[in-house]
Amino acid sequence: MTMTDTETIAPVKKRITVPCAPQAAFDTFARNLSTWWPKEHSTAAMNGGTPKAIILEPKPGGRLYEVGTDGGETEWGSVREWDDGKSLVLNWHIGRPVEDTTTVEVSFSAVDDGTEVVLIHRDFERMGEDGPGMREGYNGGWVNVFENHYANAAKAA
């Protein structure tokens, strides 16, 4: 199948509830990314290494990047929107050329038993013929990264 400019690929959508306030859930996700992101899902791991840190600069235009054990930096994307405690929108291209940037949106809403956190990853059509496969990979990958690792970290917040 060949992708055309007019074809779209369904976004990946994940929804969890974590037992903490929205600001704590947001801070865990955005400000403490390096503490919960699984190291095996990094560009260093793709090359047989381990990252030293994963940094998300807390502002629109901020960088999302990984710091290797050698101090080198690898761009994962950037912050498009930062609404502290409520939502963030990321330009995302981990392990891919910047031309293949997709969009990751994360929102945090108070509910009776904590915070509902919704992650939507979209724009896979920008990856051309790789888009459908990448979408399927992320659909499974976000289960481990978001629904397991992030959720466990937010439970401790």
User: How far is 60 from 51, CA to CA, in rounded Å?
Assistant: 24
- 5: in domain: no
CATH code at position 137: 3.30.530.20
- 7: in domain: no
Confidence of residue 28 (pLDDT cuts 50, 70, 90): very high
- Looking at the chain, the whole-number percentage of residues with pLDDT higher than 70 is 94
- Looking at the chain, the whole-number percentage of residues with pLDDT higher than 90 is 80
- 4: in domain: no
- 113: in domain: yes
Higher pLDDT, 96 or 153: 153
What is the pTM assigned to this prediction? 0.92
- 1: in domain: no
Note whether 91 and 82 are within 8 A (CB): no
pLDDT of the residue at 154:
97
pLDDT in tens, 77-117: 999 999 999 999 999 998 899 999 999 999 999 999 999 99
Least reliable range by pLDDT among 4-13, 106-115, 140-149: 4-13
User: How far is 142 from 121, CA to CA, in rounded Å?
Assistant: 9
- 104: in domain: yes
- 125: in domain: yes
User: How far is 75 from 79, CA to CA, in rounded Å?
Assistant: 12
What residue numbers bound the domain in which 115 lies?
Answer: 12-155
pLDDT in tens, 30-52: 999 999 999 877 777 677 677 88
Retrieve residue 36's tokens. 């919960």
pLDDT of the residue at 14:
98
- 126: in domain: yes
As beta bridge partners, residue 64 has 56, 77
Total domains in the chain come to: 1
pLDDT of the residue at 2:
46
Note whether 24 and 129 are within 8 A (CB): no
pLDDT of the residue at 104:
98
